[in-house]
Structure 1
């Protein structure tokens, strides 16, 4: 019974991370394009890049905390699952890769992105800041793909174990 609850929590956390990455992408594009939307309304004042960064930094910081918690749980669950032969070596290595990417984003990229957005607009538009944002985007894209693979592999493994038990 507790194994089923842990598996359900694992799939829920994977789903939250996958959805969070997708929502973060939509939020970023919406906030960074908000200036164009506000210019359509002649009565609204324009939003600056600095304002956009302040809004986006809070979202990135909170998502950083979510992925750190998720990385700890995923590593714990998949290590136990591999130890008790409920999964295979590939799934365990994939979870280690996911954990590394999540810790990388949560401990390195999220604080740096928040710091960049909290600085002056000149710093936010610098090539170093653009490079940081582009590399964080690549990390999130790779993480999204690996989380999706882990999610579907885990569902496949659950289906096989259910068929064996019937």
Structure 2
């Protein structure tokens, strides 16, 4: 990689990731973030004290982490099994399985979300997901399954 390419990559990472995330972190530890006020004079932990004083906020943080962990674990297993069957087996329906896994990418995310909502409202086989976190895990799995399959199938076909 040439020096100019590294400089462009470094500038891109700085302006799109480091600067933005740094600003969010700095704002979370201050009462007000302004170029006219010295940063060290407005540093506080009050924002975090407020968040951690309400049980609903703590529960939402744990629910978010639980949904992410469950989706990652289930999605990894599902993608690995699907890629294994579609790319390395002699299963007769392996080609339609590949199209079935890639199908949610062809549909806009809003329609996928509405489809999951209506499916859980009208289909008795998955109506148990109503009013539970399982519906979020299912929707996120369905939405990101094509991305995981696409990245794993590229690495397995080499």
Task: Give the number of the structure whose alpha-carbon radius of gyration is greater.
Answer: 2
State TM-score, norm by structure 1: 0.25
Task: Specify which structure has the higher proportion of helix.
Answer: 1
What's the TM-score, normalizing by structure 2? 0.26
